[in-house]
Amino acid sequence: MLMEKWSTTTIADFRRTLLAWYDQEGRDLPWRHDQDPYHVWVSEIMLQQTQVNTVIPYYQRFMAAFPTVEALAHAAEPDLLKAWQGLGYYSRARNLQRAAQQLVTDYHGQWPRTAVALQDLVGIGPYTACAIASIAFKEVVPAVDGNAFRVFARLLLIDADIAQPKTRQLFFDAIHPIVDPQRPGDFNQAVMDLGSSYMTAKNSDPAHSPVRRFDASYRDNRVLDFPVKTKKPRPKLIPYYGLLVHSPAGDLVVQRTSQQMLTGYWTYPLVTKADLQPDEAPEPTTLAADITAIEQRWAQDYHLAVTFQPLGGQAVSQTYTHQRWQVKLLVAEVSSALDLTYFPGEWVPREQVKALPLPKVQEKMMQRWAKSRSAVNK
């Protein structure tokens, strides 16, 4: 495996150069105004798979709603899910609360102070643990995330595949001696800022980077060769039908169960196309056949007589880590609030649906339905 080796003199020079730049140009972010482990933790969990500019208003609202670990531990789940709505990867919110409850119950409000001990908390992995430990408790450990992979792969010409789990330890061992022992938290945050500015994945600017003289990939004109990463498989396409039913009592919505993705969030009823198709069916069924199957199932299983029509237009699309949902919308208007004794849903006045915890796919379905109604009323 290829990797540059730095002398102790080079390491000391790099630390001074990086931190001098960070002191002048580091981003002013709300969670950096102190070193409170709660603030570091919540921000780092929110920043997983989410851009900084998107996170800032969510972080501020979350802290206003749950200003302490204790407040988060005792929060009602609907309030927690509503505060997280739109950030995606919703298991993060639940894990935050579970870890907060651990801290209150098992640790009596006292934070573990090392990266190793922090990983005993629900949802805290190696990166987040090292970020908290270095920033809040000054432990000299590198926080190895996507930015650190990219920055040090280029600086040191590390050609190990970062998609492989074992590679994290390799990077940890390579970066650990370089972390500034006096300012480990600032060092890690400087690397984050470097990775999001001069050393981005695309359109990087190594010629003007404050650490360009340490950058072996720039020296060798190989910046875009690093980091090495094999491609992930594409998310699996799953066709759905979204069932938009309105009555005088409101819109029909269901709460996702613990056996489903988006647990605890509310959506219009959803059914997969595969669930409508018999296992022995030789080829995919038509839209008309699927609508008939849905109507028959609702009549037989739920005792609900509903007639669906296609809403028309493009299907709503939502991508998750391993799945891409493609949701065709079917609409039904019923003249009275049907009895939901056998159906696991509720009639909610349309203007009140927005107050429920809603995933992004539900927001998209609502927007499409509202746009269709507006077009009809013109």
3-state secondary structure 303-351: CCCCCCEECCCCCEEEECCCEEEEEEEEEEECCCCCCCCCCCCEEECHH
Q: What does the pLDDT read at residue 49? A: 86
Reading the block at residue 334, the tokens are: 């019923």
Residue pair 133/113 in contact by the 8 Å Cβ criterion: yes
Residue among 235, 241, 221 nearest 332 (CA) = 241
Active site (annotated) includes residue 25 = no
Query: Where in the sequence of the chain do the CATH 1.10.340.30 domains occur?
Result: 8-225
Q: What does the pLDDT read at residue 374? A: 83
Q: Kindly give, in sequence order, each residue whose CB lies less than 8 Å from that of residue 286, ignoring residues fewer than 6 positions away.
A: none
Helix (H, G, I), strand (E, B) or coil at 245: strand
State mean pLDDT over 63-83: 97
Chain segment 86-126, per-residue pLDDT in tens: 998 899 999 999 999 999 999 999 999 999 999 999 999 99
- On the question of pLDDT at 191 being above 70, the answer is yes
Alpha helices in 138-278 (DSSP H): 146-156, 167-175, 184-195, 216-219, 273-276
pTM above 0.75, yes or no: yes
Burial 294-304 (b: 16+ CB within 10 A, else e): bbeebeeebeb
Chain segment 313-355, per-residue pLDDT in tens: 999 999 998 999 999 999 999 999 999 999 999 999 999 999 9
Select which of 4, 44, 346, 363 is catalytic: 44
The Cα–Cα gap between 243 and 298 comes to 11
State mean pLDDT over 79-89: 94
The Cα–Cα gap between 68 and 51 comes to 24
Q: What does the pLDDT read at residue 346? A: 97
CATH superfamily to which 236-376 belongs: Nucleoside Triphosphate Pyrophosphohydrolase (3.90.79.10)
- On the question of pLDDT at 232 being above 90, the answer is no
Reading the block at residue 61, the tokens are: 């609202």
CATH superfamily to which 8-225 belongs: Hypothetical protein; domain 2 (1.10.340.30)
The phi, psi pair for 23, rounded to 5°, reads -60, -30
Residue pair 180/189 in contact by the 8 Å Cβ criterion: no
Q: What does the pLDDT read at residue 243? A: 98
Chain segment 257-307, per-residue pLDDT in tens: 999 999 999 999 999 999 997 665 556 789 999 999 999 999 999 999 999
Q: What does the pLDDT read at residue 88? A: 87
Q: What does the pLDDT read at residue 376? A: 73
Residue among 209, 182, 179, 214 nearest 196 (CA) = 209
Residue pair 154/227 in contact by the 8 Å Cβ criterion: yes
Query: Where in the sequence of the chain do the CATH 3.90.79.10 domains occur?
Result: 236-376
State mean pLDDT over 17-27: 98
Q: What is the mean pLDDT of the chain?
A: 95
* Helix-strand-coil split of the chain, %, nearest 5: 50, 10, 40
Q: What does the pLDDT read at residue 281? A: 56
